Amino acid sequence: MRFYERVEEDLLAASIESQRADWVYATFITPDTEELSSAALARLIGTTVRYAHEATRWPKGSLSGATARKAELLPLSLPLPAPADPALAQELTRRVASMTGLYAKGRHTPKGEREPVDLQRLSRILTESRDPAVLEDAWTGWHRVGRAVRPEFDRYVDLANRGARELGFSDLGAMWRSRYDMEPAAFRREVDRLWEEVRPLYEALHTYVRNRLRATYGPALVPDRGPIPAHLLGNMWAQSWEGIYPLLAPPGAGAPVDLTRLLVERRTTAEEMVRYAERFFVSMGLPALPPSFWSRSMLVRPRDREVICHASAWDVDYVDDLRIKMCIEITGEDFRTIHHELGHNYYQRAYGHLPFLFRDSAHDGFHEAIGDTIALSVTPEYLVKIGLLPAAPPDEGAELGFLLERALEKVAFLPFGLLIDRWRWDVFAGEIPPGEYNRSWWDLKARYQGVAPPGPRSDEEFDPGAKFHIPASVPYMRYFLAHLLQFQFHRALLREAGWTGPAHRGSIYGSKEAGRRLEAVLALGASRAWPDALEAITGERRMEAQSLLEYFAPLRRWLDAQNRAAGSSG
């Protein structure tokens, strides 16, 4: 249909303009670049809204094939739904840009230091210190950034909801849930089903961690039952706990592979970290990154300006101008993050041949899961193959340690990945009023994560705003889904690679067979509903948690034994 040809031509041009302006803003934050970014985004949103309204001239039942798919995706392609009124659209994008900038410029001066430090430095304090007072100061200091964000947030909710309603959705949360090829209510039930599958494993891990932290910090700080104080878990949002692995290591397991030490000892540079990840994809038969990637990416924090350090992958021209934006540190965590970010770039390149509305993933969880699937192959065996490790640890204790450390990253994240959008869905629906934002946030944190703040938090605080994706208006359910899908993908690709051992030891590095299957799925983009894409890579049409449970089965047995011995179960 000629209408959709025109839509895609105009949206491609507007999207490229917005991407370029946003890149400049993210890598050089000034009032001018903020204004340019928000204005370009407003034009993109305005163009999309106009065409989404025009598309209603053709009833959905009158369309078929690729045209019907494009009609479904057009209103959902909006990065942020804004009202049709240009002034209101400009106001919405300006407020989101402002919130993102306030977050990026957040600083706190830790006790005993003279200069304010950024989120990266505060996060290192939470990982490295074992002094509860120091941990609480760093945690509380960063969370003050939410206060700066809060004045913009209420109006953002109102404007974004207005834009979603103009497109026929009840609110922004319902619009986000409509992106999964099912009705919003059905998607809620799907999320509940998946969470119930993994909840027992999370609770076993939570119980073990609480017992060990109680032994470290004492019963006055860590209760024998109930929530864990959030500042003790080694991460600013308690979303992953691998930073405190030394406190939790299985007795006699020894230290796990210290990837950070291996990288530092080799004097690895930020660019070399990225080269390792690129070689992983190339080993599976995928092409090397284009030269422009290396000249246009931001790999380290500049010394002369404010930037948004939150790691992200970019496809600026929606064909081959691929980039990543990171403030890389020479750590094992960043090594895995880079493998994840390049997963986005290789996905973007694979679907670059498709019509514009199909240049996206099957659903947003797929985009996140691809890179995470590659990161699951960052095993000791893989590190041996690339020359970073002389030999893989052979003993059972080391294997338990490896699984525990990975569970502290992957399993610990699951309830956090769920609750962020649970909270926003209720905010957008008006079920959580502004006066209860913070209380409801901590109610959900206690219900799903089993964590509590270091001390009383009033509704004058805005702790949700201390997480990047909330001021930046980035949907978060994708990460929950990705933490399940990556294990489904990993199991299927290991099978394709001919691996028959335990899933946690398998790596698809060097497997051309796995690479061919992976690239074929990436090339589908959003042209097919996600069950079709899932079937193409796994042979299954339903998202499930069984592959994750199988992966961690040896650890689950050990956790249950440890918790029984400690007399704890909840």
Q: Torsions phi, psi of 564, nearest 5?
A: -65, -40
Q: How far is CA 77 from CA 47, 48, 526, in A?
A: 11, 8, 11
Degrees (nearest 5) of the Cα angle 260, 373, 408? 55
Q: Torsions phi, psi of 393, nearest 5?
A: -60, 130
User: What amino acid positions are annotated as catalytic residues?
Assistant: 341, 469
Q: What is the pLDDT of residues 156-174, one digit of tens each?
A: 999 999 999 999 999 999 9
Determine the 3-state secondary structure of 69 from DSSP.
Answer: helix
Mean pLDDT (whole number) for 397-402: 82
Q: The tokens 């980035």 sit on which residue?
A: 474
The dihedral through the CA atoms of 559, 562, 565, 567 has a sign that is: negative
The C-alpha atoms of residue 449 and residue 47 are separated, in whole angstroms, by: 40
Determine the 3-state secondary structure of 117 from DSSP.
Answer: strand
Q: Torsions phi, psi of 568, nearest 5?
A: -120, 145
pLDDT tier at 396 (50, 70, 90 boundaries)?
Answer: low
The C-alpha atoms of residue 328 and residue 298 are separated, in whole angstroms, by: 9
Q: Which of 43, 55, 54 is nearest to 14 (CA)?
A: 43
The C-alpha atoms of residue 463 and residue 443 are separated, in whole angstroms, by: 12
Most distant pair of Cα atoms in the chain: their distance: 69
According to DSSP, the residues that pair with 108 across neighbouring strands are 117
The C-alpha atoms of residue 412 and residue 553 are separated, in whole angstroms, by: 15
Q: The tokens 């000791």 sit on which residue?
A: 380
Dig out the tokens for 434 from the structure. 């502004």
Res. 79: pLDDT tops 90: no
Q: How many CB atoms lie within 10 A of CB 300?
A: 14
Q: Which of 265, 356, 375 is nearest to 315 (CA)?
A: 356
Res. 397: pLDDT tops 70: no
Please tell me the predicted confidence (pLDDT) of residue 392: 79
Please tell me the predicted confidence (pLDDT) of residue 180: 97
The C-alpha atoms of residue 114 and residue 116 are separated, in whole angstroms, by: 7
Please tell me the predicted confidence (pLDDT) of residue 41: 92
Q: What is the pLDDT of residues 353-377, one digit of tens each?
A: 999 999 999 999 999 999 999 999 9
Reported pTM: 0.93
Alpha-carbon 5 to chain mean position: 32
The C-alpha atoms of residue 443 and residue 445 are separated, in whole angstroms, by: 5
Amino acid at 521: V
Q: Which of 430, 336, 456 is nearest to 388 (CA)?
A: 336
Q: What is the pLDDT of residues 400-417, one digit of tens each?
A: 888 999 999 999 999 999
The C-alpha atoms of residue 445 and residue 457 are separated, in whole angstroms, by: 13
Res. 570: pLDDT tops 80: no
Asked if residue 147 lies in contact with residue 461, where contact means CB atoms within 8 angstroms, the answer is yes
The C-alpha atoms of residue 467 and residue 454 are separated, in whole angstroms, by: 17
Please tell me the predicted confidence (pLDDT) of residue 78: 82
Please tell me the predicted confidence (pLDDT) of residue 391: 86
Alpha-carbon 391 to chain mean position: 32
Q: Which of 401, 393, 377, 402 is nearest to 507 (CA)?
A: 377
Average pLDDT of every residue of the chain:
94
Asked if residue 410 lies in contact with residue 241, where contact means CB atoms within 8 angstroms, the answer is no
Please tell me the predicted confidence (pLDDT) of residue 395: 63
Asked if residue 109 lies in contact with residue 61, where contact means CB atoms within 8 angstroms, the answer is no
Q: What is the DSSP string of 336-355?
A: HHHHHHHHHHHHHHHTTTS-
According to DSSP, the residues that pair with 54 across neighbouring strands are none
Res. 274: pLDDT tops 70: yes
Mean pLDDT (whole number) for 63-71: 92
The C-alpha atoms of residue 223 and residue 512 are separated, in whole angstroms, by: 51
Three-class HEC string of 143-208: HCHHHHHHHHHHHHHHHHHHHHHHCCCCCHHHHHHHHHCCCHHHHHHHHHHHHHHHHHHHHHHHHH
Q: What is the pLDDT of residues 5-58, one digit of tens each?
A: 999 999 999 999 999 999 999 999 999 999 999 999 999 999 999 999 899 888
Q: How many CB atoms lie within 10 A of CB 35?
A: 16
Please tell me the predicted confidence (pLDDT) of residue 393: 75
Asked if residue 538 lies in contact with residue 486, where contact means CB atoms within 8 angstroms, the answer is no
The C-alpha atoms of residue 209 and residue 172 are separated, in whole angstroms, by: 36
Task: Tell me which of 106 and 391 has the higher pLDDT.
Answer: 106
Q: The tokens 């957008």 sit on which residue?
A: 428
The C-alpha atoms of residue 265 and residue 141 are separated, in whole angstroms, by: 33
Dig out the tokens for 488 from the structure. 């489904």
